[in-house]
Structure 1
Amino acid sequence: MQMATTTSNIPGNVQWPQSLWAAQTPPGPDCPTLEGSAHADVVVIGAGFTGLSTALHLREAGVDVAIVEAIEPGWGASGRNNGQVIPTLSRPDPDDIVARHGAAGERFVAVLRDSAAALFDTVRRYGIEAEQEQAGWVQPVHSPGRIKIAERRFKQWSTFGADVELLSREQVRDMLGSNAWYGGFWNKTGGHINPLALARGLARTVLGLGARIYARSPVIDFERRGDRWVVRTEKGELSARALVLASNAYSGEFSKALAPDIAHEVMPVLSWQMATQPLSDNVRKSIIPARQAMSDTHGELYFARYDARNRLVTGGAVIGPGNKAERLKARVAERLQRLWPQIGEVSFDYVWNGYVGMTTDYMPRIHKLGPDAYGWTGCNGRAVALTMPLGAELAKAVRGVPENELALPFSEPVTIPAHALLRKLAPLMLLLYRQRDAREVS
């Protein structure tokens, strides 16, 4: 495992392991820090997928926009995830969303349905090289009882016009090359991508369209001064008519004063990713031969996809002290050999991690922060696809599009009680997930 350089303004002042994506992706654009005073029509906090997508759509409309980023474009969750492009939420289905949010929920479901297609269309339109493969996303079910999940998803997403298919056990076996699952759900518009390459490609695109990105400039706080929003960093400030907060799981990591209500309604959970050495052609052709993205119905999620060099990119979870990376290698290697005996000996070239923003109900939270100011959090592991059209909707919002035309189900922030304590205890949920998974399989 290769290690990244430690810098003083990285959360916790700890070393973050270098990802496969960081090792394989060309450097991003060189962006200045924010020093002194600056102005824009719209300021966006965070240069991850949401912030970059928002800026892209604002520049397409001719709006002056500046992004203020703590480290570099794609440094956080956007550049550290598995890169699966999944046009669903992790647990809530369309009926759940509509039941909670009514007409706004229906508009949000339509955006979510088309989110993967929107991402791949954007990549093609701007010629972004991000190792994109729109081969579909498969959710196999790991026990006979959980076939109900696939049946429910197929029924509800079909009703909303999604390009989906319910798969038998035999179809899943042929598609994934394993007898481990009992059927599943296939969304044909999904796929996978190099997420850091996507973030850096979007950054170059928005800069080319005339946006500004200030990097290495963690935002301390923001406030309303008269009819302007003012974003403050250590060395400067930027005022704007409108504001978008797009820091998600990292909202409380650089400054506790940035947006405490939003930071405390989401639980930043450390997600571990890892990449095998490239598989041989013979082995690769028998494991997910058509190269779909896959993540199943375990509470302790099993997931995998290929990168452009035929590495199997997967991951897992680990709790307790000790060398977590080495412990995780052993556990996930055993899992891969159990799922795919033909894989043989498994070794990993890269192991890395990053935060996923989890909410208690697995629903994203979208907020009006004040006049012409909006924010959101709670990707729940679905940010890659969702953030592309979400940025488009946030761009519409700050341009004054009426709320009843937006696919944004607004709510008030609801903080998690005893957030700091529960954050320490959250990894223990893995024990509960493992118990449930084992009981249901048996």
Structure 2
Amino acid sequence: MATERPLPNLWHATAPAGPQTAPLAGDLTTEVAIIGGGFTGLSAALHLAEMGVKATVIEARMIGFGGSGRNVGLVNAGMWVKPDDLIATLGAAAGNRLLNELGDGPSLVYDLVVKHGIECEAVRNGTLHMAVGAEGLKEIRERETQWKKRGAPVDVLSAEKAHVLSGAEGFTGALLDRRAGTIQPLAYARGLARAALAAGADIFTDTPLLAAKRQGDLWKLQAGRGTLTARHVILATNAYGSLVADVPWKEYRQELTILPYFQFATNPLPDHISAKILPERQGAWDTGLVMTSFRMDRQNRLIFGSIGRLDALAAGTHRAFAARSLRKLFPYIGDFRFEYWWDGRIGMTTNNLPAMHVLAPNVISVSGYNGRGIAPGTVFGRALARHVIGDTSAVPLAETPITPDPWRSLKSAFYHAGAQAKHFIDWRF
């Protein structure tokens, strides 16, 4: 099983404690086995349990170990792909349905936060897509036009207004999306887990899926030190599928290209500084070729992220780039230090859209959130729950065959090396 370097992750330091869980031991029978304890799997478990269906989550490590505990925490609406491009790819009927479901995704997230009393630093004041140069401004204007045709509350802001709302220098404008917001992602995942348990689901951690065998119309899963027999299986591992062993449907792991993403979090900034940076606490990311993001947390830490992996060779380059970037974006920031840093994986598909697969009889998955994990994960978790109880139209995606990307390893290496090279140069002069 893959190993992970222990990095000081802010979300682990500040999230409320999760519910007590333990590894699976012995033999257990359930209606729906869910592989993966992140946003998708926990949303599926919660919604199944609320419908009176016995659901059991098995997680190889701990709740939110993967992308759900490493996310930037932006609760975005829609996908990264522009609405018109999404419809061109999927067709009008399917494309419009997916846009409607994911456009309402933030509402589902924040409704669950309120319904279940999840303490996750939830702020719904929108997000800012910051424009870099003339091309970036053109891009966000196209996004504004396309979303406004659909009635979405989005507006392009002038460079001056973008500066006021972000506190950052050098951007030519910003797209404010009022549907969106921010959360503490690991706290949200732990809250979903607590709600799912309260509704009657089971969750077992430190329980990797080791093998799966079809027996009649059931699946017998070897998981950790026990076995789990289920009628249905939901595979909810996304970019962390490498934690699943040699199962009959292992081909799904060949579809996603892994895009590494790191974050650095400062010490809590003084009030007179933090009041200037994202004063309304939107989360922000930019249109740059190598994207960067920035946001604040409740303790007034500034969190900066970009593409790259914090391995032994690249960590110093990315740290220096993050520090230079913050001083360039926020010249008034003064002295600061990085207290936390961590990285994670983003699962990318060839068309930058999620994919739904029926991998084997009664085995279903949705993966490939392409950097939009929180709202889509929650939406697709609910949809998968409805699917396995008989509503086969619940998932707002057509079933497609697995299409392995033969270039995935090369592309992943290119993203890592290219980002490291660019970060070595940027803001040095």
TM norm structure 2: 0.93
Shift of 1:309: 0.2
**1:272 to 2:280 alignment:** no
Shift of 1:224: 2.8
Tell me whether 418-427 or 79-88 shows the greater mean CA deviation.
418-427
Q: How far apart, in 1, do the equivalents of 2:264 and 2:10 lie?
A: 8
Tell me whether 241-250 or 324-333 shows the greater mean CA deviation.
324-333
Asked whether the equivalents of residues 168 and 183 of structure 1 are also in contact (C-alpha less than 8 Å), the reply is yes
Q: How far apart, in 1, do the equivalents of 2:169 and 2:16 lie?
A: 38
Shift of 1:331: 1.2
**1:35 to 2:25 alignment:** yes
Q: Find 1:183's aligned residue among 162, 170, 173.
A: 173
Partner of 2:326: 336
2:150 partner amino acid: F
1:123 partner amino acid: V
Q: 1:409 to 1:340 in 2, by over 3 A?
A: farther
Q: How far apart, in 1, do the equivalents of 2:395 and 2:366 lie?
A: 14
Q: How far apart, in 1, do the equivalents of 2:73 and 2:167 lie?
A: 21
2:235 partner amino acid: L
Partner of 1:409: 398
Q: How far apart, in 2, do the equivalents of 1:395 and 1:356 lie?
A: 23
Say how many residue pairs are matched.
Answer: 426
Q: How far apart, in 2, do the equivalents of 1:275 and 1:262 lie?
A: 34
Tell me whether 256-265 or 105-114 shows the greater mean CA deviation.
256-265
Partner of 1:228: 218
Helix, strand or coil at the partner of 2:29: strand
**1:430 to 2:419 alignment:** yes
Shift of 1:307: 0.7
Shift of 1:349: 0.5
Q: How far apart, in 1, do the equivalents of 2:176 and 2:9 lie?
A: 28
User: Can you give the 5+ residue segments of structure 2 that lack an aligned partner in the other structure?
Assistant: none
Describe the superposition over 1:225-284 as per-residue Cα deviations: whole angstroms up to 9, x where unpaired. 211122222422212121110000111234254743221111223321111111111111
Helix, strand or coil at the partner of 2:405: coil
Asked whether the equivalents of residues 252 and 259 of structure 1 are also in contact (C-alpha less than 8 Å), the reply is no
1:408 partner amino acid: L
Q: Find 1:138's aligned residue among 117, 128, 133.
A: 128
Q: How far apart, in 2, do the equivalents of 1:240 and 1:36 lie?
A: 14
Helix, strand or coil at the partner of 1:304: strand
**1:373 to 2:373 alignment:** no
Asked whether the equivalents of residues 104 and 406 of structure 1 are also in contact (C-alpha less than 8 Å), the reply is no
Q: How far apart, in 2, do the equivalents of 1:343 and 1:211 lie?
A: 46
Describe the superposition over 1:186-231 as per-residue Cα deviations: whole angstroms up to 9, x where unpaired. 1112111111111111111100111001111111233432111222
Tell me whether 225-234 or 420-429 shows the greater mean CA deviation.
420-429
Describe the superposition over 1:306-355 as per-residue Cα deviations: whole angstroms up to 9, x where unpaired. 11101011123447975543432221111011111011223110011122
Helix, strand or coil at the partner of 1:28: coil
Partner of 2:58: 68
Q: How far apart, in 1, do the equivalents of 2:358 and 2:100 lie?
A: 21
Percent of aligned pairs with the same amino acid = 34
**1:93 to 2:85 alignment:** no
Q: Find 1:49's aligned residue among 35, 39, 42.
A: 39
Q: How far apart, in 1, do the equivalents of 2:270 and 2:311 lie?
A: 35
**1:282 to 2:257 alignment:** no
Asked whether the equivalents of residues 308 and 420 of structure 2 are also in contact (C-alpha less than 8 Å), the reply is no
Shift of 1:54: 0.6
Q: 1:104 to 1:81 in 2, by over 3 A?
A: same
Q: Find 1:251's aligned residue among 241, 250, 253.
A: 241
Partner of 1:216: 206
Q: How far apart, in 2, do the equivalents of 1:184 and 1:418 lie?
A: 34
1:98 partner amino acid: I
Tell me whether 344-353 or 45-54 shows the greater mean CA deviation.
344-353
Shift of 1:129: 0.5
Q: How far apart, in 2, do the equivalents of 1:253 and 1:406 lie?
A: 25
Q: 1:342 to 1:31 in 2, by over 3 A?
A: same
Tell me whether 75-84 or 99-108 shows the greater mean CA deviation.
99-108
1:163 partner amino acid: P
Helix, strand or coil at the partner of 1:342: coil
Helix, strand or coil at the partner of 1:87: coil
Shift of 1:385: 1.7
Asked whether the equivalents of residues 252 and 260 of structure 1 are also in contact (C-alpha less than 8 Å), the reply is no
Q: How far apart, in 1, do the equivalents of 2:387 and 2:361 lie?
A: 11
Q: 1:180 to 1:343 in 2, by over 3 A?
A: same
Shift of 1:305: 0.8
Partner of 2:384: 394
Asked whether the equivalents of residues 251 and 258 of structure 1 are also in contact (C-alpha less than 8 Å), the reply is no
Helix, strand or coil at the partner of 2:243: coil
Q: How far apart, in 2, do the equivalents of 1:319 and 1:387 lie?
A: 23
Partner of 2:289: 299
Shift of 1:410: 2.6
Q: 1:353 to 1:321 in 2, by over 3 A?
A: closer
Q: 1:322 to 1:431 in 2, by over 3 A?
A: closer
Shift of 1:95: 1.9
